[in-house]
Structure 1
Amino acid sequence: MSNNGTDLTTGFISSIVAILLFGSNFVPLKKYETGDGMFLQWVLCAAIWLVALVVNLILHCPKFWPFAMVGGCIWATGNIAVVPIIKTIGLGLGILIWGSFNALIGWASSRFGWFGMDAEEVSKPLLNYIGAGLSVVRGCSLAVISGILYGSTFVPIIYIKDHSKRNDSIYAGASQNDLDYVFAHFSGIFLASTVYFLAYCIAMKNNPKLYPKAVLPGFLSGILWAIATCCWFVANHSLSAVVSFPIITAGPGFIAAMWGVFMFKEIQGRQNYLLMILAFCIILAGALCTAFSKI
């Protein structure tokens, strides 16, 4: 198989794994009381950082670029709203909405070269536009804000990679392997989440709401998310962000909806089932269009 064929296979397999894990990573937390989520997000981010440490050691500690931490800080900021979203509008709908806006921002910034990045070309632009459009057919306040922040999380890494090809850039010679930035990215997540948690403790006059029973489920959730994100990094490298974003951000909503239907009974009634099936068909069509735009 050619290198291009191998990259495509690796990219799509990584995308599938990421979709399954992103759609399931909040499941361990669903039945546990998590309060306002501030303590939980810190536990989750601690688990994420530990996975990054393991990956970094496996990769023999590639060069650390502090700017890559910015994307992690942005993600942690969006993550603060996750618990209120799940508690108010449900796991399935929440992931569907923020996933849609995540897809829109992430795809557009890569496709059109926003924020100083190089615009990415695909062999079938029309299919790519259709795929991205079909992947974004929803909207709702907190989830929209989270989606916008999530969609910006990879911008610093892509910026470093793009500018590594320019001799006059401070990032000249930086690695083109997305996994080499995992440790810096996840360190940004843990740093920002720690700052937010300390600010929360100060605001609560050193009496934060802690939920011990949510620690192990939260840690498991963080590990699942971290593995999924590592797969996303691989998919970005193999497929390019302009292809991986619409696929990976749209798919988890359907997986989460399946959990909502069969495990948590969040979605009931024939009409709602039909709407969910319609949403799945739109998501699948969008993912297929995006995938074929690369081939």
Structure 2
Amino acid sequence: MFVPIKSHDSRDGIFAQWMMSIAILLVGFIVYAFIGFPGFYPLAMLGGASWCLGNATAIPIISRLGLAVSILIWNTTNCLTGWAGGRFGLFGMKAQLPASPLLNYLGLICVVIGGSLFAQVRSEPSAPSKKRAADFDMEQLSSEEKKALKGDSSDEAVEVLKPEKDLNSGAQRLMAFGAALIAGVFYGMTFVPVIRMIDNPDLYPGYPTDGISYVFSHYFGIFLTSTILFVTYSIFRKNKPYAPPTLFLPGMAAGTLWAIAQTSFFVANQHLSQTVTFPIISQMPGCIAAAWSIFYYKEIRGRRNFLLLGAAMSITITGAILVGLSKAIEF
């Protein structure tokens, strides 16, 4: 999901998220039409809003912690929030007991241990690819920067665009770590309204019992929240938001990838329950992101980091397998 965006300078990520939300809404409408326009359910929008608020912090976090470490950290609290909601029936949902509570708890413990190890991996986030002078918003540059860009359109001229803040400093990384934990809680709450409606037919008579019927409403909540954030951001920036045209297609691509995956998440929840799906779906993407960070972006280096990452991935995958088995195997 973040790979198309990561190679571009997204700054605060608000415009990139708005582009994502447009693609998400389009995919949601296609699903909506495919299943026969089942209806619109406003409560499901709250889940979309929760996801959007968490995702608004994603790009700044990645710029400080790197792709893999960021995703692996926020997915730990995402996993715990989603698992606890389904396991204990929080927020008006019904408790979903696995066939083997022991395997489920062991798997969850492995996931948490893996998440704590991921947090100790030191990464060096790669810089966005260099861009020509014409790709930048000249109005956001100082007079010295404008002069430098106009006088030299070579790659050396864009060096003035480096951020003043050291994004790899201890304070910046600590802030990003805290933000990632909070973002995971927002991510973990995304299915609560939908599952609440499905689990309580007495409170919501006539509502669909299949999760995919709520996809469009959920995605519309993402689009609406993201639009409000972008408008507020534009007002705060005095009508000068950072919105380069080079982010249009990458943002749309990221949104499309996420929307397809999230639709699958709805189907998985219906057949496996949150108790099983959250530990698997929230942690496995981090392992894929780790591969991108190591082999493509070269963000993770050094023997110690590789050993920590290998141990964390092994423990996390083991935990995901145990959680998956707990659905059907009594132990």
Q: TM-score, normalised by structure 1?
A: 0.89
1:176 aligns with 2:152: no
1:155 — aligned with what?
Answer: 192
1:114 — aligned with what?
Answer: 90
- CA separation in 2, counterparts of 1:287 and 1:201? 41
- CA separation in 2, counterparts of 1:208 and 1:133? 43
- CA separation in 2, counterparts of 1:243 and 1:108? 11
- CA separation in 2, counterparts of 1:237 and 1:225? 19
Instruction: Tell me the CA shift for residue 174 of structure 1.
Output: 1.4
- CA separation in 1, counterparts of 2:36 and 2:216? 11
Instruction: Tell me the CA shift for residue 239 of structure 1.
Output: 0.6
1:34 — aligned with what?
Answer: 10
Match of 2:40 among 64, 77, 85: 64
1:272 — aligned with what?
Answer: 305
Match of 2:315 among 278, 282, 285: 282
Match of 2:324 among 283, 291, 294: 291
Instruction: Tell me the CA shift for residue 133 of structure 1.
Output: 2.2
1:211 — aligned with what?
Answer: 244
1:6 — aligned with what?
Answer: none
- CA separation in 2, counterparts of 1:133 and 1:109? 16
Instruction: Tell me the CA shift for residue 241 of structure 1.
Output: 1.2
User: Any idea what the Cα deviations from partners look like across 1:246-265, whole Å, max 9, x if unmatched?
Assistant: 10001111100000000000
Amino acid in structure 2 at the alignment position of 1:38:
I
1:53 aligns with 2:29: yes
- CA separation in 2, counterparts of 1:129 and 1:189? 32
Instruction: Tell me the CA shift for residue 29 of structure 1.
Output: 1.2
Supply the RMSD in Å over aligned alpha carbons. 0.9
1:143 aligns with 2:143: no
User: Any idea what the Cα deviations from partners look like across 1:48-104, whole Å, max 9, x if unmatched?
Assistant: 111000000001111211101100011111111011011000000000001111000
- CA separation in 2, counterparts of 1:149 and 1:162? 21
- CA separation in 2, counterparts of 1:220 and 1:268? 28
Report the count of equivalent residues: 267
2:285 — aligned with what?
Answer: 252
Q: 4+ runs of 1 displaced by more than 4 Å?
A: none
1:131 aligns with 2:107: yes
Which structure: larger Rg? 2
Instruction: Tell me the CA shift for residue 173 of structure 1.
Output: 2.7
Look up the SS of the partner of 1:135 in the other structure: helix
Look up the SS of the partner of 1:280 in the other structure: helix
- CA separation in 2, counterparts of 1:278 and 1:36? 32
- CA separation in 1, counterparts of 2:97 and 2:206? 22
- CA separation in 2, counterparts of 1:119 and 1:78? 25
- CA separation in 1, counterparts of 2:25 and 2:265? 16
2:67 — aligned with what?
Answer: 91
Look up the SS of the partner of 1:64 in the other structure: coil
Look up the SS of the partner of 1:28 in the other structure: helix
1:11 — aligned with what?
Answer: none
Identity among equivalent pairs (%): 46
What are structure 1's unaligned runs of at least 5 residues?
1-24
User: Any idea what the Cα deviations from partners look like across 1:90-138, whole Å, max 9, x if unmatched?
Assistant: 0000000011110000000110011111111111011111212222233
- CA separation in 2, counterparts of 1:161 and 1:129? 25
User: Any idea what the Cα deviations from partners look like across 1:121-165, whole Å, max 9, x if unmatched?
Assistant: 11101111121222223362011011000000100000000012x
